[in-house]
Amino acid sequence: MSDGNSIEVEGKVVAVLPGTMFKVQLANGHVVLAHISGKLRKNFIKIAAGDTVKMEMSPYDIEKARITFRMKESNSTYRPPPRRRY
């Protein structure tokens, strides 16, 4: 789908389903079923409910999508704990 036929949209993860599937709500309120791309799977990128994601959708089936990027929360107050050195 990366050959220019795909539609790139952003949405918010509403629910996490088994098998690395997600329900994602678009800005217009439409809910689609999405799975994560191979690069996210390979690099162990974690996606949770409430995350904003960028997706690719086929113009032929607008009910399904592929998550290609997890957006960083710029106003997040979470800081990971410091790593211990042994």
- Read off the pLDDT of residues 10-56 as tens digits, 9 standing for 90 and up: 999 999 999 999 999 998 889 999 999 999 999 999 999 999 999 99
Task: Output the CA torsion 42→48→49→55 (10° steps).
Answer: -30
Cα separation, 45 vs 50, in Å, equals 15
Q: Is 76 within a domain?
A: no
Residue 49, domain member (yes or no): yes
Question: b/e string for 30-42 if b means 16 or more Cβ within 10 A?
Answer: eebebbbbeebee
Residue 24 counted as domain residue: yes
Task: Flag whether 21 is in a domain.
Answer: yes
pLDDT at 69: 94
| In a domain? residue 83 | no
66 pLDDT more than 70:
yes
- Residue 61: inside a domain, yes or no? yes
pTM: 0.78
Is 47 in contact with 36 (CB distance < 8 Å)? yes
Which CATH number fits the domain that encloses residue 17? 2.40.50.140
Residue span of the structural domain in which 22 resides:
7-70
**Which of left, alpha, beta for 74 (phi over 0: left; psi -120 to 50: alpha)?**
alpha
Total count of domains within the chain: 1
